[in-house]
Structure 1
Amino acid sequence: MSKHWPPCYPNLLSPSTEQFSGQLLHTPPYVPFSTYTANSKSLAKISRAPTLSVSDLRSLLQNHDEDRQDHEHNLVIVRGLVEAKSAVDWTWKKSFRPPNVLLSHDSAYAAVILQKTQTCIYNEWKGFLGWTSELRAIFGRSLKEQETTLLRTVPFILVEGAQWPRSDYVIVNMDGSIHPLPLSTVYHQFQPVPASRYTFIQALFGHEYPVGVLHEEKILPLGKCISAVGICNFKKGIPEIKSCKDLPYFLADTTKDQMVADLAFKVKIQLWSGIVLGSLSIGVLGFAVMRNWNKWKAWRQRHSHLPSHATLDAVVSQIDEDEAGDVPDGQLCVICLTRRRRSAFIPCGHLACCHICAISVESEVSPICPICRRAVQNSIRVFEC
């Protein structure tokens, strides 16, 4: 009979590392530190930025030399009324031309920014087998989120009050800006799609089918009072404001106080969320470390009572001599299937393994009974009379 048995010295590193990695993967996620830092810096910058009117920018321009204007970068908050740039570029030749503004086809408003959005709305029903069409979500963009956006802009400025002519104004430079815009919705209509003969079949098998198209039109109308947060450059005697990539605002309906309050609330929420989730994560990691440490100490204690290789070889030789005959199928070890069942596990009491396999089970980090899967403390050898 061959003398092959499971090793008595298990690899402690792999089970412990696997369990510890599992605890790491299931810990609560940290609040991104970069987001908290960015919002904190934005809050500090906006709090320090002065709130100026358009006329104040003109007075600030007069305090700088012409040579330093291209290198002067100031973060300011300017609040004024939206006006098309063509209103200040008036000449006798251009007086007979229509103003350079955008006109909404669905409304009678004049604007400097026009955004049209068409969203295809899909409906999804579970078929008679309870299936849903998840293939599109796996291999491509979901049809529920398909939309088409058309954005048109014309050069515009911010002016102060309704005085004429426009002597004081600031040019708004939209180049490179990806910030949200303070647009107003002027058109919102849902156009249903007529059902075809295949709609019922698609719904029966759980496929998505279009139910309608949502048309939206948003504009930035003339005369709307907004705030511009950005870097102001003075070029050729005319102030120009650009967006700052580090700030979450560029053009907004809110004032400086409202921006500061909003950012302060976000920073506070992120701070306390990070503290709570960080403490919870440290607690989970500490519990995982203590659990694996206790398992390792229990394994060391069990391992100290296990026989050595020489003793084990002698025991195997003696067992092979005692069990030289045939063993009935009902008395074979459930692990090696070659030797007779001689060891019973405690506390479940199942007589399931031979003495060699019982020693192998006890040497594991988390020993369990191969029959009932309960935790095993130790085993005792059973002798027949």
Structure 2
Amino acid sequence: MDALPITPGELLCLGSSLAFSGLFYYLHRRKAKVAAKIQEAPKLQVGDDLRAVLSATGTSCLQYVAIEGVVQPDEAALTSPYHKELQGVIERLVLKEHRLVWNSLARSWVDSERVVLEQVHSVPFVLTSPGGKAGAKVSVESPLRAVELPLETVYERFQQTAHGFKDLLSHYLSGEKPKGFLETEEMLLVGSSLTGIGELALHPDGSLHLQPPADGAGYFLRLSDWQSLLAELESTSSFWKWATLLCGLAAAAALLRALCRAYWSRRLKQEKEQERRAFEDLRLHKGLAAEPDEELPASICVICLSNPRQCVLLPCGHACCCFRCFQALPRRTCPICRSPIDRVVPLYLV
């Protein structure tokens, strides 16, 4: 059986499409599983009798719940260095350098940024009842391990860099122009409504704790409700699903192209074999030998210069080549006059 006539480009397209299709399908299934777990998770509030809920399940731990409450510090809260009236439990300070970089391909300046400094501070905090019920609270463990920190931007300042003439000249020569520094502060403010999705555990001392799931499922802390998180996960899962489908279609197209080429190559070989057999049958019918006799007159093929001329090309009538060279012609045109060849008949030398 002949090997599949696939080009290196098609082989690269097929392999990369299959690889990306597998990767995108894995991401789709991962997001879909997390969305399904959030959909099935119990929806609770800190004001509910959570200990009774745990007792009803017969265990001291719920592996996956969505619980809503109000953020309160368990100890002293963090104070913003720029706004003394703002207090929070998580703070992130970021200093970024912005610059323009010359892109030789696009022939234009493009924006680029680099994080110069990043600091994250946190203090222990709890979720309390939205209705202000006293005594009801859930401690939030390892908040920095959440998939995304629930922070709000409370301060932002851009300090532009001053440039002199020499600086501008060096910037054009180096291909980089500094624009300035962006300083931002993000905080999880005290009193914010927070939705936590993770494992709810009752410790021996009677305290309730929201912590990352032991089975490695997603640990989420969100300022919005769980419905918005579910919608985002379903949208992302749908995106990876369509990406998987497109990559699969690309792989199928490359494979189908190779199969079509194999089919037409096989069909062309069959047609050439039928043509050769018809030619040999016609020679035998006229009483000529199947293979050319070496004692025949020396009329040499103009293409290979080794075999005798065996073919008459019609309708131009030129007898210039052997049958093997006729079959090897890249185009069905006469090698002498370049006119199209309708059919070929054996050459009879007398």
Shift in CA distance, 222/286, structure 1 to aligned 2, threshold 3 Å? same
Q: 1:104 aligns with which of 63, 67, 80?
A: 80
Q: Indicate conservation of the 8 Å contact 1:122/1:211, yes or no.
A: yes
In the alignment, residue 157 of structure 1 is paired with which amino acid? V
Q: 1:264 aligns with which of 210, 234, 238?
A: 234
User: Would you say 1:191 and 2:182 are equivalent positions?
Assistant: no
Q: Indicate conservation of the 8 Å contact 2:101/2:176, yes or no.
A: yes
| Equivalent residue number for residue 212 of structure 2 | 243
Deviation at 1:152, TM superposition (A): 1.2
| Equivalent residue number for residue 38 of structure 2 | 46
Inter-partner Cα distance in structure 2 for 1:378 and 1:106: 89
Q: What's the TM-score, normalizing by structure 2?
A: 0.70
| Equivalent residue number for residue 95 of structure 2 | 118
| Equivalent residue number for residue 154 of structure 1 | 123
Inter-partner Cα distance in structure 1 for 2:181 and 2:222: 29
Inter-partner Cα distance in structure 2 for 1:35 and 1:377: 57
Shift in CA distance, 132/271, structure 1 to aligned 2, threshold 3 Å? closer
Q: SS in structure 1 opposite 2:145?
A: coil
Of Structure 1 and Structure 2, the greater strand share is in 2
| Equivalent residue number for residue 21 of structure 2 | 30
| Equivalent residue number for residue 63 of structure 2 | 74
Q: SS in structure 1 opposite 2:163?
A: coil
Inter-partner Cα distance in structure 1 for 2:100 and 2:219: 35
Inter-partner Cα distance in structure 1 for 2:96 and 2:82: 17
Deviation at 1:39, TM superposition (A): 2.1
Listed as ranges, the gaps of 5+ residues in structure 1 are 1-10, 87-98, 134-141, 309-313, 324-331
Report the RMSD for the aligned CA atoms in angstroms.
4.9
| Equivalent residue number for residue 148 of structure 2 | 180
Listed as ranges, the gaps of 5+ residues in structure 2 are 281-290
In the alignment, residue 21 of structure 1 is paired with which amino acid? L
Deviation at 1:123, TM superposition (A): 0.3
Deviation at 1:41, TM superposition (A): 1.6
Q: Indicate conservation of the 8 Å contact 1:36/1:267, yes or no.
A: yes
- CA-to-aligned-CA distance 1:231-287 (integer Å, 9 cap, x gap): 011112111111347555510122123333333344445445545664565355334
Sequence identity (%): 19
User: Would you say 1:202 and 2:171 are equivalent positions?
Assistant: yes
Q: Indicate conservation of the 8 Å contact 1:77/1:228, yes or no.
A: yes
| Equivalent residue number for residue 294 of structure 1 | 264
- CA-to-aligned-CA distance 1:296-355 (integer Å, 9 cap, x gap): 2213432565699xxxxx879799x667xxxxxxxx96xx8x889x999x99x9x9x976
Shift in CA distance, 315/41, structure 1 to aligned 2, threshold 3 Å? same
Shift in CA distance, 199/268, structure 1 to aligned 2, threshold 3 Å? same
Count of matched residue pairs: 325
Inter-partner Cα distance in structure 2 for 1:145 and 1:317: 81
Deviation at 1:208, TM superposition (A): 2.2
| Equivalent residue number for residue 7 of structure 1 | none
Q: SS in structure 2 opposite 1:76?
A: strand
In the alignment, residue 230 of structure 2 is paired with which amino acid? V
Q: SS in structure 2 opposite 1:157?
A: strand
Q: Indicate conservation of the 8 Å contact 2:15/2:251, yes or no.
A: no
Shift in CA distance, 24/162, structure 1 to aligned 2, threshold 3 Å? closer
Q: 2:224 aligns with which of 233, 254, 264?
A: 254
| Equivalent residue number for residue 136 of structure 2 | 168
Q: What's the TM-score, normalizing by structure 1?
A: 0.65
Inter-partner Cα distance in structure 1 for 2:59 and 2:15: 55
